[in-house]
A = this chain, B = another copy of it.
Amino acid sequence: MRPFSKLTQGLVGQPMLEILTTVTAMEAAGRKVYRFEVGDSDFDAHPHIIEATKAALDSGHTRYVNSMGIEPLRQSISRYIERGWGFRPDLDQIVAMPSNSVIDFAVRCLVDPGEEVIFPDPGFPSYFAVTNYLGIQDVRVPVYEANGFRLNPDDLEAKITDKTKLIIVNTPQNPTGAVMTREEAERIAAIAKKHDLWLLSDEMYSENLYEGLQHHSPASVDRCRERTIILHGFSKGFSMSGWRLGYAVGPAALMAKMGLMFQTIYSCVPPFIQYAGISALDGDRQLLRQRMEFYQHLRDVMVGALNEIPGVSCAAPKGSIYAFPNIQGTGLSSQEFAKTVLEKAGVAVVPGPCFGPRGEGYVRFCYLREESMLREACEKMKQVLAK
């Protein structure tokens, strides 16, 4: 048989989804598993979003539509960006597609094989999954617990070479929950401009901010007109992971290219899903605020209970939906820790190195689960690790 293409050699699975497969098998065998591995909420999308999807199905929004996204959705996105980011993008600066596709398509439209993309370590695994299969060099900037896992702009600038084409930053950050300050966001925008680089700003978790913190984006500097692309979507803030809806906001010429690529590979996002997105963005902000207060409570429960486990320490992350405790005091590697708590306590977590080499010594929990489950799981881990 003729071999597969060279590209297939670089395809890697998302570690969370591989753990999901193991856990599903354990559950099928009747084992109770406390599942913290998937970056998703156990709490459903708000009913108005589900009803809007159903209403769109009933209204016949079930045929091919514009590959860039239907106009009413792009108008909603434009208004949403204006409210949260302080500038109003034109409709041709917006393209609707799943958020993971935004990473793949932005990288493929901007970077040639052999060139370099810089992103944080630890960081969201899709950055590496995409660059790796495309033959593009990943360059990792370490983020340190001592700095609250925030990316230091100087560390970022030090990684730039004449092969660098794109910088990816992420605030609030997955897996650490770090939140960029306004000053850091502006510095990063200035570095991208100084070196004439593209900047993909992954802001998936911008709704998931605690303690009244404001979201700061490097995109506010060039208003996505020059070099900055905002990656955003509905999975995390609006609990809509299964809708597979996201969007990019960026320079119109680039959005046209990404839209063309989307047209070639998918035609369009299902229109009834786009109407769900409108319902989410135009919905009652009070509902969302209440949910974020609830999430902050869950974070506090999780962090508190983690800190009672011997050898585990965890600062309260300021954003995102994850706790990323330091487990070095247990004497276990991240992998050993994850294996031990899964086998002995039935607790599924993601080992830190799944997010990059600098994740060693940490594990990731997604804490958007029933409070009783958080407490029970931590109690079980405590018993197992006390031995």
Contact = CB atoms under 8 A, between A and B. Distances in A.
A7 B108 contact: yes
A106 to B, nearest CB: 10
A244 B271 CA distance: 10
Contacts of A101: 265-266
Nearest to A164: B2
Contact of A11 (B17, B197, B261): B261
A314 interface: no
A12 B264 CA distance: 8
A11 B64 contact: no
Interface string A236-279: 00001111100000000110010011011111111111000000
Interface residues of A, number: 71
A58 B8 CA distance: 38
A112 B5 CA distance: 5
Given A1-B226, A64-B38, A108-B7, A98 B254 contact: no
A100 interface: yes
Nearest to A9: B257
A99 B64 CA distance: 13
A262 to B, nearest CB: 10
Contacts of A110: 2, 4-5
A145 to B, nearest CB: 28
Given A11-B264, A62-B45, A2 B270 contact: no
Interface in A69-93: none
B7 A62 contact: no
Interface string A49-74: 01001100110111111110000000
* Interface core residue of A53, A58, A64, A226 (most chain B CB under 10 Å): A64
Contact of A62 (B50, B66, B196): B50
A364 interface: no
Contacts of A144: none
A207 interface: no
A198 interface: yes
Contacts of A108: 5, 7
* Interface core residue of A100, A126, A227, A264 (most chain B CB under 10 Å): A264
B40 A50 contact: no
A329 to B, nearest CB: 32
A111 B7 CA distance: 9
Contacts of A44: 60, 62
Given A2-B197, A98-B266, A133-B264, A241 B57 contact: no
B63 A241 contact: yes
A242 B98 contact: no
A50 B45 contact: no
7 shortest interchain CB distances as A-B pairs? A62-B242, A11-B260, A104-B265, A54-B54, A129-B264, A63-B242, A8-B257
5 contacts: A4-B253, A8-B109, A50-B57, A98-B267, A242-B270
Given A50-B62, A130-B264, 8 more contacts: A14-B264, A20-B64, A20-B66, A53-B57, A61-B242, A63-B241, A100-B267, A104-B265
